Structure 1
Amino acid sequence: MGRTEFSKGDGALPDKVTVFDDDYPGVANLDAALLAALRTAATDAAEDGVKFFVNSGWRSPEYQKRLLREAVIKHGSVEEAARWVATPETSPHVSGNAIDVGFEARAWLATHGARYGLCQIYANEPWHYELRPQAVTDGCPPMYADPSQDPRMRRA
């Protein structure tokens, strides 16, 4: 959604970009610790024949605003859109702290992600992962049903 309407500089990614493709700001602008964990996990996953494709990573505030506007149109209200898309001020994508991965990577991370501190945060978004370093020893925290339940998403 909205992928082709934005430039590489906004964080838009073409198909088949991996966590190793630093030529794309959507990858290069991710938080360094998140990116390091993803690259370690992707290297290990490659031994299982799994490649980590990135559907979305870092996004510019403008890109995030557009995604939110499109979600409001699609879902019919701001409240319903909030179940899927955060505001630019609250989005972990805008801060570089979240990644949306492809199908093979999400299946692999669902089983192995905690070992790298990579956790699915929302039950309704199996593609969305964030770094939770404590997960390495304690396991991933319980998921929120959707972003609207995440206290970080509430506007001040």
Structure 2
Amino acid sequence: MTRSEAATTTATALGEADGAIPPGTTVFSNVPAVANLDPRFRVALQEAAKDAVADGVEFRVNSGWRSPAYQNHLRRKAIAKYGSEEEAARWVATADKSAHVRGQAIDLGPAAAQAWLSRHGARYGLCQIYRNEPWHYELRPEAIEHGCPPMYADPSEDPRLN
């Protein structure tokens, strides 16, 4: 099997069970990418989503929990796209360091949901972590009382990933 055939086989073998998101997924969906999130994180997301609906905003999940295989696939794609490990690290963590693999990160859309969480997320302990990723949120319970911590420019600056 050629390298290209192996990549295609891996990509097609990765599905919902690995964290791929079916269309229309919300923080209330019962799919592995949502169900495998840390329970406290999922509850905070669902509480925020319920309140956002009152403002006409719906949270859509673009990515949540991911299997290590899926994370490795995304990392390989990022290296191919950006041309180096160093540039890929600005966008995709390795599987052993990824908050997505641990069920502690979510990527949300659309832009209205991102804007809503940017304004109100700390109330639920939900914080944007990276300035270059307005869609990426993690649970920071201390934010409820103290506000969200300063953001890293991108994942390559996050000491948890180094």
TM-score bin (small chain): over 0.9
Larger radius of gyration: 2
Tell me the TM-score normalised to structure 1 length.
0.94
| TM-aligned CA distance change 1:4 to 1:17, over 3 Å | farther
The corresponding residue for 1:69 is 76
The corresponding residue for 2:39 is 32
Say which of 109, 128, 135 aligns to 2:143: 135
The corresponding residue for 2:19 is 11
| TM-aligned CA distance change 1:54 to 1:9, over 3 Å | same
* Contact 2:128/2:136 (<8 A) preserved: yes
> Percent identity, aligned pairs only?
63
Question: How far apart, in 1, do the equivalents of 2:23 and 2:12 lie?
Answer: 11
List gaps (5 residues or longer) in structure 1: none
The CA RMSD over aligned residues, in Å, is 1.4
Secondary structure in 2 matching 1:100: strand
* Contact 1:4/1:12 (<8 A) preserved: no
Say which of 118, 121, 138 aligns to 2:129: 121
Question: How far apart, in 2, do the equivalents of 1:10 and 1:86 lie?
Answer: 16
The letter of the residue matching 2:71 is Q
* Contact 2:152/2:158 (<8 A) preserved: yes
Question: How far apart, in 2, do the equivalents of 1:35 and 1:91 lie?
Answer: 17
Question: Deviation digits for residues 113-146 of structure 1, max 9, x if unmatched?
Answer: 0000000000000000000000001000000000
Secondary structure in 2 matching 1:101: strand
* Contact 2:11/2:73 (<8 A) preserved: no
Question: Deviation digits for residues 92-114 of structure 1, max 9, x if unmatched?
Answer: 00000000001221111011000
- Give 1:5 deviation, angstroms: 6.2
Q: Does 1:101 align with 2:108?
A: yes
